[in-house]
Structures are given as C-alpha cells and as structure tokens.
Amino acid sequence: MAELLQYVVTGIAVGMVYALIALGFALIWKSSSVANLALGQLVLISSWFTYGMLVQVGLPYWIGLLLTIVFAVFLGWSIERFTLRPLIAQPILSLITVTLGVGYFLEGLVSFIWPTSVAALPHLFPKEPVHIGPAVVSQEYLWAAGISLALFGMLSLFFKYHKMGIAMRATADDQLAVQACGVPVTSVFSMSWMFACVVAAVGGVLISLIGGITYGLVETGLKSFSVVILGGLDSFIGCMVAGPIIGLAENLGGGYLTPIIGPGIKDIIPFIIIIIVMVIKPFGLFGEERIERI
Amino acid sequence: MLKLNNIEVVYLNVVRVLHGISLTVEDGSVVALLGANGAGKTTTLKAISGLLKVEEGDVTDGSIEWEGRRIDHSSAQEIGKLGIVQALEGRRVFGHLTTEENLLVGAHNRKERHIIHQDLEMVYHYFPRLKALRHNIAGYLSGGEQQMLVTGRAMMSAPKLMMLDEPSLGLAPMLVEEIYDIIKRFNDERHTSVLLVEQNVRIALNIAHSGYVMENGRVVLDGSADFLRNNEDVKEFYMGLSAVGVKKSYRAVKHYKRRKRWL
Ligand SMILES: Nc1ncnc2c1ncn2[C@@H]1O[C@H](COP(=O)(O)OP(=O)(O)O)[C@@H](O)[C@H]1O
Ligand SMILES: [Mg+2]
C-alpha cells in the first residue's frame, strides 16, 4: 500500500514535469507546425548549464537559476533566428530536420564541455522527506509538481489575456491573416522558441534535482514526446492531463513489471503508450478539432 | 492619398500577373476595384499592404505612394503602422479565438489600452451583433457574422485606408446590404478611405465614388461610379444587364409566377 501510494505520487509529480516540457513542444507546433526534435537535448544542455553555474562557477542558487533562464531564452532566440528563420517558406520537412541537427549539435556540445557523464545539482529543497499517509516521498517531487503547475498556470494566463499570447494563438490559426493585422510572425516564432527553451530548462533542472544529471535527460525529452502525442500535439490541457498519465504508467509499470519482465520496461512503457494511442486515437486525447464552416 | 504608378507584380520571379496598374484613392473616398476572377484584384491589394512579400511576390516596376512617401519596399507591419489595413478575401477569422479576441488582434499595433477599449466599443457600435457574440468562438459564427468580424477587425487598427477583399462573397443579399451600409457609414463618419474589391459590381458602385475595372492584370476602364454604372460594357459584362436582358429577366419572372400558380 505504501509502495503503491509512493509510485502514484512520484509518478504524477514527474509526469507533470514531462507535461511542462511537452508544453514547449506544443507551443512551437501550434504556432509554426514545426516539430521540435531537439526537445531532449534542450533539457540536457540547460541542466548541464545549471550545473556549470552552480557547481563549477559556484554561484548562489538564485543567480545560477536566473542565468539558466537567461541562457534558455538566448538559446531559443538563436535557434529560431539562425537555423529556422532562414528556412521560412521552405518545406516543413527541412525545418524539422534542422531541429534534429540542432539536437545533435547540442548533444555534441554537452559531451565536449562536460565529458563526465553524470553529475548532481546541489540540494535546492529541504532534505526531510514528506509523509503522505503511509508513503514517504522526498520533497523534490512535490516541489517539481508545484512549480510545473504554477508555470502552466502562468502560461495559460499569458495565452488567455496577454496581447502577445492572443497573437500567438491567432498565428496558430492563420499565419497570413495575422500578418494582415500587423503582427510580426517572426517574433511570434521567436517567442515560442524562447518559451519552449525556458520550460525545457525548468523541467530539466527539476528532473535533475530528483535523479541527477545524466544522458537520461534526453530520454526525458523523448518521454515528453509521448506526452504530446497522447495529449494531442497542440493542446495545452492535453499535455497537462497526459503528463501525469505517462508518469503514472511509467512508475507503476516500472515498479510492478520489472521483477517479472526485467529492467528497462520502465523506459519502454511511454513508447508502448504512444503506439497504442496512435492506433486508437490518431489525434490524441485532446487533439484540436478542425473547425469547418461553410 | 494612395497612388499606384504603373506597377507590375511578379510571383516567384517568373509569373507576371500585373502589367502596369495605376490607380488613386483620394482621402476619404470609396474606390471600387472591379473585375472577374483572376483579374489581379487581390494581388493589387497585397502589393499595397505589403503582404505580397510573404507570398514570394514582388513589385518589379512602378511605385506605390502613400501620403507622399513610397511604401513599395516597406514590410507589411510598417505599412500597417502607416494606417493601411487589408481584410483578406474569404473571411479569415481566427477560428479558435473568441470574437473579442479576434478584434483585439486587429489592434495589435495600437499602444494605449484605453484607446483599444474605445475602438472595441466603436466596432460594437457599428456591428451590434458582434457585441452579442463577443465571447463566442469565431469558427462557429455564421458567414455573415464572420464577414462582420473581419471587417470589424480591420477597423480595430484605426486605419486611414481600409481595403476590403470581396466582402459580399457568398452572402445573402440582405446581409450584403447590411454590411455595405455599415461600411458606408464608417467611411462617412470617420473619413476612412475605402478601397473595395468586388465582383458584385452593382452593390460596390452603390457606395463607391469612383471605380476601376481590371482584366488580366490591366485596368481597362475607370471613372466615377455614375459613369461606370451607365457604361454599356459594364452593364453587359459585369451587371448581367443589357437592353434585351432586362426584358428577358422580366419574362423569366412572369414565367416563374405562372408556374407557381399551377403548383
Ligand atoms: N501566390 C501566387 N503565386 C503565383 N501566382 C499567383 C499567386 N496568387 C495569385 N496568383 C495568380 O495571379 C493572378 C491574379 O490573381 P488574383 O490577384 O488573386 O486575382 P483576383 O483577386 O482578381 O481574383 C491569377 O492568375 C493567379 O493564379
Ligand atoms: Mg481575389
């Protein structure tokens, strides 16, 4: 019972971080129909960057985290500005391929700067575990869930009420019409990449605080793909619902199936879910319906 | 004042679709740009608004002047900021946004909050129906409501020149009249110039002061609305009327009535 509850709580918490990272994917996909295949590497590099700032440079936590956000914004801006913008109006496949290239580039960069493959961030949250009923959960999980939820709330408000947020949603609907309204779509694309990199960085730091910094972070990005696919690619709510589902499935499957099937099952579960979803519901749980009116 | 001097437009560096268009829109006037499908009307509007660049089109010759300065090399946003707005053909609302959000996007380049609020009220004053629908999702509005919405969205930028691309397309005559009355009132009350692209020549000439008729990327006829209305060619080719035609359609009406009695 204690074990089950523990799997459930940590699964949901980690799933919410996946959801946060997935949000960044959905954002870019919505505004520009580009699938960002560098998601995992964005998570990886910003976690290492945080490590560099906090451990190697030895900055205080809040400055280090602030710099990580600045770094993420800059990363998002430069990826859009220098690799995607020159390709505007090219076939969408070239754009997607470019993000794949960006991903490999970032991964190479990481192994060049930080050849050690494992590291840990210093503790940010209090070390005492929390008791939830019979289960004992370390605080990182709860903070991770809370921060993800808070960021999701802030982004939702931004998209609902802020002028730029509304313009970004409008761009998702009609790129030409939005330009006829004087909205610079290039800044919309740029903005969506900056947001995506920031949520990837925050997600990366949260996951690293739980499980350390490893190349497994790239897989965290991949798991966020399964979240996006389950949630329906362009739906923010879909991400927030699908994230905990994936996290739960992964944890429960990992916890109870590993003794039977063997280790490794935990990492496969999200992808099994992707395949099942693709077969049953190709547009995901919350995939946006096309509004057709004649 | 807007002035096009002999402009040529080429798409994708090869397809030339405008062969020397000249036209003038005086401040505060309504000018109709008429012609059949494929004549180049939309292309002309996009050349003015700068949207052509987005579609890999270029003004390769001639010049476009707005208030005395050349704008044919400016970007769509710059041109928007100078007070020119284009409502695209085909009622392109942002389908997943509400009516009010659609209108707000139209005011994207307006700075002050209270002015935007005033503009919203102004649009709701012209289109009371939009006010009732302000929280509805635009994708589910009727065709007429969507046309009102894109027209209102264009108004939200507080334009000096509003360009409308076939606002009557596919709408019931009653609705077309309602929308045209509003466009006319907007022009009268706010002195906004209007460049109106239409295939529905009769309705366009009802509110226009002057007009141009395009064919195959050229202006083939222009003049005051009165002149065009009474021009035999315009009547025959664009209004579907001719000396015989009137009689014919009269007979058709009678025929219809007779049949109806038998039913
Ligand atoms: N983006 C484009 N690329 C190439 N040719 C185009 C493009 N847009 C329009 N055309 C061509 O330009 C001509 C004029 O089109 P258009 O300006 O849309 O006419 P209208 O609005 O009068 O119906 C047509 O022959 C059309 O095929
Ligand atoms: Mg047209």
Q: Which of A258, A256, A269 is nearest to A219 (CA)?
A: A269
**Residue A226 confidence (pLDDT):** 87
> What DSSP state is assigned to residue A287?
P
**Within a domain: residue B40?**
yes
**Within a domain: residue B36?**
yes
What is the longest distance spanned by two Cα atoms in chain A?
62
**Residue B261 confidence (pLDDT):** 38
**Residue B254 confidence (pLDDT):** 42
Mutation site, B71, B74, B94, interface A, largest A CB count within 10 A: B94
**Residue A288 confidence (pLDDT):** 63
Contact A88/B at CB under 8 A: no
**Residue B235 confidence (pLDDT):** 78
The CATH-assigned architecture of domain A2-280 is: Orthogonal Bundle (1.10)
pLDDT (tens digit, 9 = 90+) per residue, B162-194? 999 999 998 999 999 999 999 999 999 999 999
**Within a domain: residue B102?**
yes
The total of structural domains in chain B comes to: 1
**Residue B244 confidence (pLDDT):** 46
Q: Beta B57-66 vs B2-11: how paired, if at all?
A: antiparallel
B156: which 2 tokens? 């939200």
* Nearest ligand atom owner, CA of B35: 1
For the cut 90, the answer to whether the pLDDT of residue B262 exceeds it is no
For the cut 50, the answer to whether the pLDDT of residue B252 exceeds it is no
Q: How far apart are CA B230 and CA B32, in angstroms?
A: 15
Which mutation among B15, B53, B201 tests ligand 1's pocket best, with the greatest number of atoms within 8 A of CB? B15
Q: How far apart are CA A62 and CA A65, in angstroms?
A: 5
**Within a domain: residue B260?**
no
For the cut 80, the answer to whether the pLDDT of residue B256 exceeds it is no
If you average pLDDT over every residue of chain B, what do you get?
Answer: 89
Is residue A76 within 8 A of residue A193, CB to CB? The reply is yes
**Residue B239 confidence (pLDDT):** 67
Residue B183 lies in domain:
2-252
**Residue B83 confidence (pLDDT):** 95
Q: Which residues of B161-172 are buried (b: 16+ CB within 10 A; e: fewer)?
A: bbbbbbbbbebe
**Within a domain: residue B263?**
no
Split at pLDDT 50, 70, 90, the class of B240 is low
How far, in Å, is the centroid of ligand 2 from the Cα of B182? 22
Residues of chain A with pLDDT under 50: 294
Tell me the ipTM for this assembly.
0.87
Coil, helix or strand at residue A234: coil
Q: Are B76 and A182 inside 8 Å of each other by CB?
A: yes
Q: Other C-beta atoms within 10 Å of B35: how many?
A: 26
Alpha helices of B50-167 — where are they, by DSSP H? Answer: 76-81, 99-106, 113-126, 128-132, 143-155
Q: Beta B15-25 vs A130-132: how paired, if at all?
A: unpaired
Q: Token match 């979803």: residue?
A: A277
How far, in Å, is the centroid of ligand 1 from the Cα of B40? 6
Name residue B162's beta-bridge partners.
B85, B194
Mutation site, A31, A169, A181, A235, interface B, largest B CB count within 10 A: A181
For residue B145, the domain's CATH number is: 3.40.50.300
**Residue B263 confidence (pLDDT):** 35
Name residue B112's beta-bridge partners.
none
**Residues of chain B positioned with their CB less than 8 A from the CB of A235:** none
For the cut 70, the answer to whether the pLDDT of residue B245 exceeds it is no
More confident residue, B193 or B55: B193
